[in-house]
């Protein structure tokens, strides 16, 4: 089953802040961060079953960065609410 992905404005804003932070540190690192987020979104669309810490929120760690996506599954929809450390 493929889930519909909804990314809240706050999650986009947080990811943009992290992108700019990494780009200032090392040119190109921000793009790698966005690539990791894009992979995580694709994974959530096909298999959104990750760690539940505080129901109904689920957490998915990024592989190469110290961040995690926070989201919830609502029927056939995955709602991404935050990008946090």
Q: Helix, strand or coil for residue 63?
A: coil
Question: Percent of the chain, pLDDT > 90?
Answer: 87
pLDDT value of position 53: 82
- Global pTM reads 0.89
pLDDT value of position 44: 94
- Omega of the bond leading into 56 within 30 degrees of 0 (cis): yes
**Other beta carbons within 10 Å of 28:** 9
Average pLDDT of the chain to the nearest whole number:
94
What CATH number belongs to 4-84? 3.30.2310.20
49 pLDDT more than 90:
no
So where are the chain's domains?
Answer: 4-84
51 pLDDT more than 90:
no
Tell me the average pLDDT across 61-68. 94
Distance of CA 83 to the CA centre of its chain: 6
């Amino acid at each position: 089953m493929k889930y519909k992905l909804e990314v809240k404005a706050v999650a986009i804003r947080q990811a943009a802040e992290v992108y700019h932070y990494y780009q200032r540190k090392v040119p190109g690192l921000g793009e790698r961060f966005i690539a990791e987020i894009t992979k995580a979104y694709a994974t959530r669309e096909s298999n959104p079953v990750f760690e539940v810490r505080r129901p109904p929120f689920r957490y998915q760690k990024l592989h190469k960065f110290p961040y995690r996506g926070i989201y919830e599954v609502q029927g056939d929809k995955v709602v991404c609410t935050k990008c946090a450390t």
